[in-house]
C-alpha cells in the first residue's frame, strides 16, 4: 500500500473512532442524568411513607419494589461498564 492510502485509512479510522467516542460520551451523560433522577425519586420515598396507617403497607411495598428495580438498573449499568 502506498503512504497516501495508509494516511487516508488512518484518517478514516480516526474519524470513525471520534464518532464512536462522541456517541459513548452522550450515552454516559444520559446515564449520569438518569442516575441523578433515580436518586431524587428514591429520596422522595420517605415522604411517601408519611401517610395514614391504612395506606402505609401498600406504599411501603411499592417503594421497596421501585428500589429493587433501581438497584437492578444500577447493577446493569455497572455490568455494562465493566
For 9-50, how does the pLDDT look when each residue is reduced to its tens digit (9 = 90+)? 899 999 999 999 999 999 889 989 989 998 888 888 888 888
Assigned C-alpha cell, 33: 442524568
CB atoms inside a 10 Å sphere around CB 57: 9
- Which residue, 77, 76, 71, is CA-closest to 42? 71
> Are the C-beta atoms of residues 38 and 73 closer than 8 Å to each other?
yes
For 44-77, how does the pLDDT look when each residue is reduced to its tens digit (9 = 90+)? 888 888 888 888 999 999 999 999 999 998 998 8
Amino acid at each position: 500500500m502506498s503512504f497516501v492510502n495508509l494516511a487516508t485509512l488512518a484518517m478514516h479510522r480516526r474519524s470513525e473512532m471520534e464518532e464512536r467516542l462522541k456517541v459513548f460520551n452522550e450515552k454516559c451523560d444520559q446515564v449520569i442524568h438518569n442516575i441523578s433522577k433515580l436518586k431524587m425519586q428514591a429520596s422522595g420515598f420517605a415522604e411517601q411513607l408519611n401517610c395514614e396507617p391504612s395506606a402505609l403497607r401498600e406504599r411501603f411495598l411499592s417503594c421497596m419494589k421501585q428500589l429493587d428495580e433501581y438497584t437492578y438498573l444500577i447493577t446493569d449499568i455497572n455490568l455494562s461498564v465493566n
